[in-house]
Structure 1
Amino acid sequence: MLRRVRVLGLMAAAIGLTVLATSGCMPIPPTAGFLFVPRHTGSAVAAHPIDSFTVPQHPHLASNGRSSMHNDAYATDAYSGPGPLGRHPKVTSATHGIEECATLAFDRAGRLLGLCGDILGPELKLIDPESLAVLAKRALPGRALRLGVNPLEDLCGGAYFYLDEADRAVVATTNRQIQVIGEPNLSVLQTYELSSLVPDDDCLIALMPDWSGWIWFETAGGRVGTVDPANGAGRVLQLLPGETIANSFAVDESGGVFVVSDHALYRLDADRHGAPQITWRQPYDRGARRKPGQLSQGSGTTPTLFSRGDGRGRVAITDNAEPVMNVLVFERDSGRFVCGVGVFEAGASATENSLVAVGDSLIAENNYGYTGPMSTMFGSTTTPGVAKVDVAGDRCSVAWTSPVIAPTSVPKASLASGLLYVYAKPPHRAIATWYFTAIDLRTGRTVFSVLTGTGIQWNNHYAAITLGPDGSAYVATIAGLVRIRDEPGR
């Protein structure tokens, strides 16, 4: 506990007068090291679009690319639109106090909706996409400290939400409710009470609708359930005893719901009454330890769905094997194992972020060595590696591995630009430097890196990179929000 107090104290000292800046009108302050490191490396590039499969638009989600942390129902983490190309990049920021917005989405007006929070609990914010000022906010039920759980790693009711087809935020709360929240004042329109389905020693992790409209949810204690949005009736299924869940899930148009526990990958479907049923279960190698960089001993990935050129649906995760972690691919309908391949160096491979799906390829980021903000203080950093895996028939192979170090960035791809974006922290003798970095999807070559800031306050701590409708990129940090955009007219 003393270590966590020390971390928060350092954060407060670095950020300074954040209490006065919670509306998001002041920039995140850099440290003095900002004066002594490169602002930009590499060069601008022309857009080089890359082909991929079409993700069907979910009828109960906002448009693909703006509905949730992982972009769409398939959790591809790929955008059809553009991202920054490095043309006179401009970085702006706004501090929101000592908290971060783990998930960002966009409403039809182009405004950001963020599920933000600190160790005491989450809140939902409506944020101007240009000034980054907070336009409205809604406090959500607070978080009680849980015995044995680091509050900086607590996923209960504060990491995931989705934006539905009517621009309503559907949020899992810390007190075992689902709240439906509407604009412009972020008022609560509907509450679904789940305390009869989820005991008080368990908590909600993530939620997502299936194609028929049932709201599915999962809990840290290994429960998966559904709620009928018409009447609030709920049903729940317990996975195998001892299994826990620490990631979100994906859904497809056939009714499949793909969940990964710390022991196995599942496909579930609803029966005619809406009750969840296990269609298939595939165990994987969960290893013998929780590796540094992960939140559980098991897969750190939300299942990612993709379709090959022949139209056959696949689902991919990573395992937690030793000496190297593997990217694993299965058929969605049958659960048949298709292929797997190891990524990164022996004894130093782990991820806590979803795979990115582009065409017949999957991209994994190495998070090995990240144990919290202290692990990237000053010049310290984590283990290198961003890898692209190609899936050809029933064979997986590593196409390239980049040496970029991205401690926890939830990487994103722009199909229109042909680039992958990560939030990088290269090693340095004394200064904590954070860079928004673009990698060529075809070759793995680093195209450019833009300095966002220096110091612990620029650490994203597992928050996702998000691309906006205008091609801007956003990164939430433990002190606020950062925007990176091109200024080609300069």
Structure 2
Amino acid sequence: MEKALLPKHRWYPEASLMHADGGNSGSTDWPGPVGLNTSSSSSALDAVGVLLWGSNHTMVVGYVDMTTNPITLGLVVRNATTLQVLGQWPAPANETLNLAYIELIAGDASDRVIVSSQQGRIYSLSISHCPGSAKFTMDRKIDLSLGDILSEGETLLNAMVDTDDNIWFTTGYINGTSGLTGGSTASPNSTTLGFVTPDNAIKRIHIAGQVVENGIAVSGTTSFIVMGPTDGINATGYLAAYRSDEPSNGGIDQVWKLPYSAGSTTKPGAFSRGSGSTPALLGDQFVAVTDNADGQINLIVAHQNTTTNQLACKVPLFMPGSVANDFSATVHFDGTLYSVMLINNYGAPQIFSGQGSTDINGSFNNKTMMPGGLTRVDVDTTGAACGVRWVSNITTTAVPILSTATGLLYVYSQDPGLALKGEYVWYLVAVSWDTGDVAWKVKMGSGGIFNDNWLSATLGPDGTFYQWVIGGLAMVKDFGSFY
């Protein structure tokens, strides 16, 4: 078995999101399977978005009902063992929730969920737990669609809480997802970002010519946001840090703003015009994203705090001419080095919307046209020394998860040889965080219903691996105690 890693860094407020926490580390201190007495199973659930964990280890997940017109989205609490629904909150009529960017903050008496809608509302919900049931209560509804709070053509995307209980928000646009969510098909020409105070005062700024295309990171009272250009050849995007400030100064302080190369166009298989990566925080020292430079993209590592040289280091990734990245980095600190794992999704199929007459077992499942690859880059604590540690040829379009308890990165992938024959067989692949070698793999299922469809993985408190797939939820668990 792999050697356990140091526990992950804590960012505050402590929260649960798609990429695990407010720093988007993509890691958990819970164990995962180690490949001994391992068994896989699945359950057909009408779910979408992410799987988050409540204070009593119940699941909080998004769901979608594709049989209604328009489709209905909402949140449910499920028992982690039986998957029984314990409580449900359907979105108000004509509200399209941003289910990929839910935030959950676990509490002693109840849990708190923050979710936004594409129509411009932010909902703060509390979840109270009783034996065999859970209850959603709407504590706040913040309407940003009123007046000129948002600019014309903008769509609300992100909402996250900081340590002052401000709710940071950004508008944004993710290309290729409108068929699934029913959202806007037109890219906006600007971004609005800001925060709502506990007493409902709204602080905001408008940024022309730039669009948020991913999630954000929040640590303390600072938000880290990456934006891409709305148009232009050899264009520029920006990675920036913003902090809540005195009302007399407008309420928002731009701590720093770093330009990056956004290249000439969106790359094949990618969604984003600019950076495809949600900012990932490396402890309290650095923040990492990828650029979208023509030819070969780069890892960009910047200092979190203001310095004379905001850029700490820049590392070319994968092979020139066949590289794109639409995933947040998975990151860890071993006490000496920060490690940053990135995915190459160049040439990937687009999201399957489930609408129309497309065959669920059709050729959209074939990912062999992707060059694929994972790579780990190490960064020292000065930021001056950055270099590639290992490269793997594994292909994935799923959001992976790292367990510090097992030292394994859990990646969902398909058998490329069978895919060339039109047979789509899917595996959980356990990768050594230290070496990049495959430790073991286990079959998850066959056919299009087991396609990950760009969805995220997570680990549960009992060591179960969970992967959202088109057909529902696929799971892997060891039967025995190996930790």
Compared CA separation, residues 426 and 345, structure 1 to 2 (3 A):
farther
- 1:27-176 equivalences under 5 Å are 46-51=1-6, 54-56=9-11, 58-59=12-13, 61-62=14-15, 67-97=16-46, 100-117=47-64, 120-141=71-92, 157-166=98-107, 167-176=111-120
Higher strand share: 2
Quote the residue 2:322 is aligned against. 348
Q: Does 1:258 align with 2:224?
A: yes
Pick one of 136, 145, 162 that aligns with 1:210. 162
Pick one of 386, 395, 411 that aligns with 1:396. 386
Quote the residue 1:8 is aligned against. none
What is the aligned-residue RMSD (CA, Å)? 2.2
Quote the residue 1:472 is aligned against. 464
User: Could you tell me whether the CA contact under 8 Å between 1:224 and 1:276 is conserved in 2?
Assistant: no
Quote the residue 1:277 is aligned against. 253
Quote the residue 1:178 is aligned against. 122
Alpha-carbon deviation of 1:358?
A: 1.2
Compared CA separation, residues 54 and 114, structure 1 to 2 (3 A):
same
Matched residue SS, 1:457: helix
Pick one of 261, 270, 279 that aligns with 1:294. 270
Q: Distance in 1 between matches of 2:261 and 2:72?
A: 34
Matched residue SS, 2:449: helix
Quote the residue 1:228 is aligned against. 197
Compared CA separation, residues 228 and 375, structure 1 to 2 (3 A):
farther
Structure 1 ranges of 4+ moved more than 6 A? none
Q: Partner amino acid for 2:98?
A: G
User: Could you tell me whether the CA contact under 8 Å between 1:356 and 1:364 is conserved in 2?
Assistant: yes
Quote the residue 2:150 is aligned against. 198
Matched residue SS, 2:375: strand
Spell out, residue by residue over 1:189-235, the C-alpha distance to the aligned partner (whole angstroms, 9 max, x if none): 32111113225632111111122211101101411110112x22212
Alpha-carbon deviation of 1:479?
A: 2.4
Q: Does 1:418 align with 2:391?
A: no
User: Could you tell me whether the CA contact under 8 Å between 2:77 and 2:88 is conserved in 1?
Assistant: yes
Quote the residue 2:451 is aligned against. 459
User: Could you tell me whether the CA contact under 8 Å between 2:291 and 2:300 is conserved in 1?
Assistant: yes
Q: Distance in 1 between matches of 2:433 and 2:481?
A: 26
Compared CA separation, residues 426 and 349, structure 1 to 2 (3 A):
farther
User: Could you tell me whether the CA contact under 8 Å between 1:115 and 1:160 is conserved in 2?
Assistant: no
Q: Distance in 2 between matches of 1:198 and 1:160?
A: 19
Gaps of 5+ in 2: 128-133, 173-189, 229-236, 353-361
Q: Identify the structure with bigger relative contact order (alpha carbons < 8 Å, sequence gap 6+).
A: 1
Q: Between Structure 1 and Structure 2, how many residues are aligned?
A: 419
User: Could you tell me whether the CA contact under 8 Å between 2:243 and 2:255 is conserved in 1?
Assistant: yes
Alpha-carbon deviation of 1:54?
A: 2.7
Q: Does 1:339 align with 2:291?
A: no
Q: Distance in 2 between matches of 1:377 and 1:54?
A: 36
Q: Partner amino acid for 1:377?
A: N
Spell out, residue by residue over 1:148-180, the C-alpha distance to the aligned partner (whole angstroms, 9 max, x if none): xxxxxxx97232111124312111123211112
Q: Distance in 2 between matches of 1:102 and 1:451?
A: 23
Alpha-carbon deviation of 1:104?
A: 1.4
Alpha-carbon deviation of 1:113?
A: 0.4
What TM-score, normalized by structure 1, do the two folds share?
0.80
Q: Distance in 1 between matches of 2:93 and 2:277?
A: 26
Q: Distance in 1 between matches of 2:367 and 2:113?
A: 39
Q: Partner amino acid for 1:207?
A: A
Q: Distance in 2 between matches of 1:198 and 1:165?
A: 30
Q: Partner amino acid for 2:122?
A: I
Q: Distance in 1 between matches of 2:286 and 2:475?
A: 34
Identity of aligned residues (%): 29
Compared CA separation, residues 266 and 143, structure 1 to 2 (3 A):
farther
Q: Does 1:364 align with 2:342?
A: yes
Matched residue SS, 1:159: helix
Q: Distance in 1 between matches of 2:364 and 2:431?
A: 22
Spell out, residue by residue over 1:416-461, the C-alpha distance to the aligned partner (whole angstroms, 9 max, x if none): 1011111112312221122111100000001111211112221222
Gaps of 5+ in 1: 1-45, 145-154
